[in-house]
RNA sequence: GGGCCUGUAGCUCAGCUGGUCAGAGCGCCACGCUUACACCGUGGAUGUCGGGGGUUCGAGUCCCUCCGGGCCCA
């Protein structure tokens, strides 16, 4: 059974060697003949390939991999795919620069298009020099570029040892994903869950696209409070404070809190705006903050989300001036034309950015005497698109929405249903559920999915044009599911000809794409073969596990629950495992902008995959972890220890002549109490580790296993060393020797399997010395055989014997002599509870402690010894022999 | 302003439902080249468990409050 134990062991090169072997042997290949009960399926987060992987990825993906490996060994057929998120802005920008192109959806597709550049050495191509291409061409270029990124990502994951089945690969932009995304949307549409609306929404003026609530980020933004006078009918001033005076032309009401005594007599009256003389009502609404500024606010269409709320709830007029490009409308609005502010608007404001319009308005206010005092500097929270750097504006536009419980719906109470789903889902750790609930409860609108971008999944619709060439949005032309995926900007709908595009009586395609989350929210459906491979679908869906970061609970986790709930009326997975952040040593979140990011590949090359995995696995789910190289070094040490201890334990079974031998893993051969005590302790470890993994507490599983493994190395191995060595080559072995050797092998066999999820490379290396197949397909150990082998042995005996050995070591350490120094005789005081155990293992203790003469055991008296040290065992008298002669230096 | 998490040895962290829980590893100090391992081994020192109240026979462990960190939502 022992085939080959190398003379010199090493962790070097294991990653490449076993990655190859695992691929060749299909170790992690999903066997799709398994039934749903036999499968453990994982909805792996698809990393954004245009970004770069960082240690945070390594961290959280390792967590998932330990779980995957556990369940695989547990006998589950693990469905563990990997996806790539290619969608979205980062890829678009890279493609523009790399190939020197820009997307123009109005252009026709060009077959065999070749871009002007192939990489521009990091230099950006000026927008004016970029060659415009159709969306289809643009997407093809995106795909070309991301293919390369994916190769690098895969190499990293393989090096880390993720037990992914690489045959189950997908991209969020591939044809399968596009079809699934469009199909899901069309079904939402058919069921009334998707709708379009002309409504005020968040808008990024830089990227010129709508933005969803989930993509918001509130940031501190500097500004000024301007105290501005409105005018009552009698001409007296009513002051408000605003940070956005340029929106005075868009004012539709002044609003104060209904309980605010200062404004009671004004409610229901009207005032006129400064400069423009527009008459607006003074109204009451509880969202007005009494203690903020003057307590009365200017409501414009639209300055912020509160304005939208007021506008909607108080049914105010719409007077928009900010356009999609972030500038004030070039035409003078009707409500200003012919008024006192017409000239100001046409000459100073039309077409200006919000920023320069503000200056102009403030100058005018100052001139008219409507500015009270000077503007006061302020910092306030302002909404930004998470990828943008200018404050979001709110503009009215026609967009598509998917219902997510954020807005009331007459058909059903979606919000309550989704909250119920949240309760149904097992969050690990459990408190992460609160984030989900907070988010769902705080939603204030449905999910806006239209994006005015290019590299994404197209909204799969066309709209007819009437005879006058006007678009009829109310009657979209819907493709059949069989046609999907489609690109409505380059394909004509059935029954039309491409020549009718944009012609009266013809059609136009919806130019928008869907939010990337609209596709990635379908990842469980996509990987499971929804409507594409019903056989696979039934075997893996709904899935078992969604691992992900805590930052995207509101986006990815929530939106996935929404889609699955709407489409399948089921939770997409049973468990959600949420990983924490990686913090740098200063307790700051690691991020690229801070320049403290370490390249994962360098880390793996330097320390070894097992070492890096150890560091990651030592952190619990949901808990932030420090980036600690020290922890990786400990992991490396553990991996090396596994190799060395295994080599040692297995060598006993190897014939020194032939270099081969046999170890029989027969528990019946373990007859010595100490050996059985060790197995008894191990049985408990197996139980604890199993329980921990089942509860998604991989850290505890590692901890109990690791601790016992070190006890095994430091104490047990030393204690049985002499006994295991005994017996001349070829001679009949004594039962005690067989017992030790068998126990060593049994323990090793179990511990390798317990450690395999954490240290897949080192454990596989050892496994290859003496077992067949992969340790990663070996059965997860169970406690029962160990227990029956242990019989009535007391696991405390190993601890007791270990403490006795340590007490002997201590006298040598204090005498500053080598551990090889013989003890001629000694008396040892042992607490009553340990006495029988130590006595039972006396020969092993004496052997390991090099006690050559009598070792007398006496029961420790009250107060003797400290149970914290050597379990209270104290050597009360001893005589040391001569230290062995130092070996001459070689 | 509301919510969640967090503050235990120099460092990174365990300590579940209150009663050997004051722990581990690293680091540190001392010693030891012992044929599994010097990428090692052995032994040792280290803390009013963030502060202050309270509940209890008894509190890192429960309650209140304050302080410090992190995140989410207004």
Taking the C-alpha atoms of residue A241 and residue A237, their distance in angstroms, rounded to an integer, is 13
Q: Are residues A201 and A320 in the same domain?
A: no
Lowest mean pLDDT: which of A181-195, A283-297, A546-560?
A283-297
DSSP A152: H
Per-residue pLDDT tens digits for A79-102: 999 999 887 777 888 888 889 998
Q: Are residues A696 and A589 in the same domain?
A: no
Lowest mean pLDDT: which of A199-213, A679-693, A762-776, A794-808?
A199-213
Average pLDDT over residues A618-640: 92
Q: Which nucleotide is nearest to A649 (CA to C1')?
A: B36
Three-state DSSP class for A325? coil
Q: Are residues A224 and A101 in the same domain?
A: no
The range of the structural domain enclosing residue A470 comes to 181-205+395-519
Q: Which nucleotide is nearest to A12 (CA to C1')?
A: B39
Whether the pLDDT of residue A731 is over 90: the answer is: no
Q: Are residues A502 and A621 in the same domain?
A: no
Three-state DSSP class for A819? coil
Name the pLDDT band for A856 (thresholds 50, 70, 90).
very high
Name the pLDDT band for A445 (thresholds 50, 70, 90).
confident
Straight-line distance from CA A701 to C1' B45, in Å? Answer: 31
Per-residue pLDDT tens digits for A9-50: 999 999 999 999 999 999 999 999 999 999 999 999 998 877
Average pLDDT over residues A846-851: 93
pLDDT value of residue A31: 96
pLDDT value of residue A123: 67
Whether the pLDDT of residue A125 is over 80: the answer is: no
Q: Are residues A260 and A322 in the same domain?
A: yes
Name the pLDDT band for A2 (thresholds 50, 70, 90).
low
- What CATH number is associated with residue A577? 3.40.50.620
- Tell me the CA distances in angstroms from A527 to A82, A83, A157, A664, one per residue in order: 9, 9, 19, 44
Q: Which nucleotide is nearest to A809 (CA to C1')?
A: B42
Q: Which nucleotide is nearest to A618 (CA to C1')?
A: B13
Is A803 contained in some domain? no
Q: Which residues contact A717 (CB under 8 A, 6 or more apart)?
A: A645, A648, A649, A744
- What CATH number is associated with residue A488? 2.170.220.10
pLDDT value of residue A824: 93
Is A85 contained in some domain? yes
Number of structural domains found in chain A = 5
Whether the pLDDT of residue A587 is over 70: the answer is: no
Is A470 contained in some domain? yes
Straight-line distance from CA A693 to C1' B67, in Å? Answer: 37
Is A890 contained in some domain? no
Taking the C-alpha atoms of residue A508 and residue A490, their distance in angstroms, rounded to an integer, is 10
Straight-line distance from CA A393 to C1' B51, in Å? Answer: 46
Whether the pLDDT of residue A661 is over 70: the answer is: no
- Tell me the CA distances in angstroms from A22 to A167, A290, A774, one per residue in order: 13, 67, 8
Is A109 contained in some domain? yes
Q: Which nucleotide is nearest to A814 (CA to C1')?
A: B43
Q: Are residues A378 and A426 in the same domain?
A: no
Average pLDDT over residues A440-446: 88
Between CA A460 and CA A467, with CA A464 as vertex, the angle to 5 degrees is 165
pLDDT value of residue A594: 46
pLDDT value of residue A839: 93
Straight-line distance from CA A714 to C1' B41, in Å? Answer: 9
Average pLDDT over residues A222-233: 92
Average pLDDT over residues A140-157: 88
Straight-line distance from CA A488 to C1' B64, in Å? Answer: 63
Q: Which nucleotide is nearest to A651 (CA to C1')?
A: B36
ipTM score of complex: 0.95
pLDDT value of residue A3: 65
Per-residue pLDDT tens digits for A456-473: 899 999 999 999 989 999
Mean pLDDT of chain A: 90
Per-residue pLDDT tens digits for A246-279: 999 999 999 998 888 888 999 999 999 999 999 9
- What CATH number is associated with residue A355? 3.90.740.10
Q: Are residues A515 and A538 in the same domain?
A: no
Query: Domain end: A333, A351, A386, which one?
Result: A386
Q: Which residues contact A72 (CB under 8 A, 6 or more apart)?
A: A28, A40, A78, A163, A776, A777
Whether the pLDDT of residue A670 is over 60: the answer is: yes
Average pLDDT over residues A61-76: 96
Query: Domain end: A544, A575, A605, which one?
Result: A605
Q: Are residues A68 and A193 in the same domain?
A: no
Q: Are residues A233 and A365 in the same domain?
A: yes
3-state SS record for A561-609: HHHHHHHHCCCCEEEEEEECCEECCCCCECCHHHCCCCCHHHHHHHHCH
Q: Cis bond leading into A7, ω under 30°?
A: no
Q: Which nucleotide is nearest to A431 (CA to C1')?
A: B4
Straight-line distance from CA A794 to C1' B57, in Å? Answer: 34
**pTM: predicted TM-score of the whole model, two decimal places:** 0.89
Taking the C-alpha atoms of residue A460 and residue A488, their distance in angstroms, rounded to an integer, is 6
Q: Which nucleotide is nearest to A624 (CA to C1')?
A: B70
Straight-line distance from CA A319 to C1' B50, in Å? Answer: 54
Average pLDDT over residues A326-334: 92
Query: Domain end: A386, A410, A440, which one?
Result: A386
Is A131 contained in some domain? yes
Q: Are residues A474 and A513 in the same domain?
A: yes
Q: Which residues contact A2 (CB under 8 A, 6 or more apart)?
A: A650, A653, A654, A660, A661, A662, A663, A769, A770
Straight-line distance from CA A707 to C1' B15, in Å? Answer: 15
Q: Considering only CA atoms, which residue is closest to the C1' of nucleotide B3?
A: A438
Q: Are residues A446 and A421 in the same domain?
A: yes
Is A593 contained in some domain? yes
- What CATH number is associated with residue A650? 1.10.730.10
Straight-line distance from CA A665 to C1' B50, in Å? Answer: 53
| For chain A, percent of residues with pLDDT exceeding 90 | 62
Straight-line distance from CA A806 to C1' B32, in Å? Answer: 15
A426-428 vs A573-579, strand pairing mode:
parallel
Q: Which nucleotide is nearest to A713 (CA to C1')?
A: B36
pLDDT value of residue A593: 46
Is A7 contained in some domain? no
Whether the pLDDT of residue A378 is over 70: the answer is: yes
Q: Are residues A597 and A612 in the same domain?
A: no
Name the pLDDT band for A340 (thresholds 50, 70, 90).
very high
**8 A C-beta contact, residue A82 and residue A43:** no
Straight-line distance from CA A823 to C1' B30, in Å? Answer: 21
Question: Which strand B bases fall within 7 angstroms of a protein CB?
Answer: 2-6, 11-15, 20, 22-27, 30-34, 36-37, 39-45, 69-74
Straight-line distance from CA A586 to C1' B7, in Å? Answer: 15
Q: Which nucleotide is nearest to A216 (CA to C1')?
A: B73
Whether the pLDDT of residue A654 is over 80: the answer is: no
Average pLDDT over residues A575-595: 69
Whether the pLDDT of residue A889 is over 50: the answer is: no
Per-residue pLDDT tens digits for A804-821: 999 999 999 889 899 999
Per-residue pLDDT tens digits for A591-607: 544 445 578 899 999 99
């Amino acid at each position: 059974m022992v085939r080959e134990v190398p003379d010199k062991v090493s962790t070097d090169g294991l990653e490449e060697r076993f990655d190859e072997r695992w691929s060749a042997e299909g170790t992690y290949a999903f066997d799709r003949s398994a039934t749903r009960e036999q499968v453990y399926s994982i909805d792996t987060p698809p990393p954004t390939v245009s970004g770069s992987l960082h240690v945070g990825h390594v961290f959280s993906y390792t967590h998932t991999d330990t779980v995957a490996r556990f369940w695989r060994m547990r006998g589950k057929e693990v469905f563990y795919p990997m996806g790539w998120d290619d969608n979205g802005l980062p890829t678009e920008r890279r493609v523009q620069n790399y190939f020197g192109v820009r997307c123009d959806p109005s252009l026709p597709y060009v077959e065999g298009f070749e871009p002007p550049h192939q990489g521009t050495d990091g230099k950006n191509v000026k927008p004016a020099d970029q060659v415009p291409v159709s969306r289809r061409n643009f997407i093809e270029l995106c795909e070309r570029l991301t293919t390369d990124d994916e190769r690098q990502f895969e190499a990293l994951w393989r090096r880390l040892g993720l037990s992914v089945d690489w045959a189950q690969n997908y991209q969020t932009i591939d044809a399968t994903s596009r079809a699934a995304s469009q199909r899901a949307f069309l079904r939402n549409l058919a069921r009334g869950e998707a709708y379009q609306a002309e409504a005020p929404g968040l808008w990024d003026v830089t990227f010129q696209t709508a933005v969803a609530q989930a993509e918001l980020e509130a940031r501190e933004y500097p500004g000024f409070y301007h105290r501005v006078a409105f005018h009552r009918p009698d001409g007296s001033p009513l002051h408000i404070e605003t940070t956005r005076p340029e929106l005075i032309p868009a004012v539709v009401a002044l609003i104060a809190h209904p309980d605010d005594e200062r404004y009671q007599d004004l409610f229901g009256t009207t005032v006129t705006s400064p400069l423009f003389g527009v008459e607006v009502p003074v109204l009451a609404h509880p969202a007005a903050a009494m203690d903020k500024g003057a307590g009365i606010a200017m409501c414009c269409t639209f300055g912020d989300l509160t304005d939208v709320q007021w506008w909607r709830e108080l049914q105010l007029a719409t007077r928009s001036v900010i356009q999609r490009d972030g500038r004030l409308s070039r035409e003078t609005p009707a409500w200003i034309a012919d008024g006192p502010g017409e000239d100001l608007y046409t000459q100073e404001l039309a077409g200006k950015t919000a920023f320069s319009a503000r200056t102009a308005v403030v100058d005018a206010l100052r001139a008219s005497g409507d500015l009270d005092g000077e503007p006061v500097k302020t910092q306030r929270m302002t909404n930004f698109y998470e990828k943008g750097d200018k404050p979001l504006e709110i503009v009215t536009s026609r967009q598509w929405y998917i219902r997510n419980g954020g807005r009331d719906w007459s058909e059903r109470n979606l919000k309550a249903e989704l909250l119920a789903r949240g309760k149904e889902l097992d969050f690990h750790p459990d408190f992460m559920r609160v984030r989900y609930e907070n988010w769902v409860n705080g939603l204030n609108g449905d999910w806006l999915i239209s994006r005015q971008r290019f590299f994404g999944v197209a909204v799969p619709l066309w709209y007819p044009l009437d005879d006058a060439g006007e678009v009829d949005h109310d009657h979209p032309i819907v493709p059949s599911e069989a046609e999907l995926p489609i690109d409505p900007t380059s394909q004509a709908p059935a029954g039309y000809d491409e020549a009718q595009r944009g012609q009266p009586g013809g059609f136009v395609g919806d130019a928008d794409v869907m939010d990337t989350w609209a596709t990635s929210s379908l990842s469980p459906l996509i990987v499971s073969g929804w409507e594409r491979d019903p056989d696979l679908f039934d075997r893996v869906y709904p899935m078992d596990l969604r691992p992900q970061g805590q930052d995207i609970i509101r986006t990815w986790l929530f939106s996935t629950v929404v889609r699955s709930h709407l489409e399948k009326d089921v939770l997409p997975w049973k468990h959600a495992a949420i990983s924490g952040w990686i913090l740098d040593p200063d307790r700051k979140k690691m991020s690229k902008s801070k320049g403290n990011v370490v390249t994962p590949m360098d880390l793996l090359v330097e320390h070894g995959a097992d070492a890096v995995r150890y560091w990651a696995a030592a952190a619990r789910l949901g808990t932030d972890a420090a980036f600690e190289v020290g922890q990786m070094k400990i992991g490396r040490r553990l991996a090396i220890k596994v190799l060395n201890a295994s080599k040692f334990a297995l060598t006993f079974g190897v014939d020194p002549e032939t270099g081969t031998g046999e170890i029989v893993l027969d528990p019946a051969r373990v007859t010595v109490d100490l050996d059985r005590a060790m197995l008894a302790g191990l049985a408990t470890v197996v139980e604890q580790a199993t329980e921990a993994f089942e509860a998604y507490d991989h850290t505890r599983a590692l901890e109990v296993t690791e601790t016992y493994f070190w006890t095994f190395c430091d104490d047990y191995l030393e204690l049985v060393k002499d006994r295991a060595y005994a017996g001349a080559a070829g001679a009949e072995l004594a039962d005690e020797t067989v017992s030790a050797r068998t126990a060593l092998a049994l323990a090793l066999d179990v511990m390798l399997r317990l450690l395999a999820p954490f240290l897949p490379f080192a454990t596989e290396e050892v496994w290859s010395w003496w077992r067949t197949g992969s340790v990663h397909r070996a059965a997860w150990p169970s406690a029962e055989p160990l227990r029956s082998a242990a019989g009535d042995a007391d696991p405390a005996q190993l601890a007791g014997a270990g403490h006795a050995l340590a007490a002997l070591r201590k006298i040598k350490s204090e005498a500053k002599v080598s551990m090889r120094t013989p003890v001629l005789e000694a008396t040892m005081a042992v607490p009553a509870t340990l006495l029988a155990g130590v006595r039972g293992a006396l020969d092993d203790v004496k052997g390991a402690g090099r006690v050559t003469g009598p070792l007398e055991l006496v029961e420790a008296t009250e107060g003797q010894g400290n149970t914290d040290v050597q379990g209270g065992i104290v050597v009360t008298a001893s005589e040391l022999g001569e230290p062995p002669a130092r070996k001459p230096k070689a």
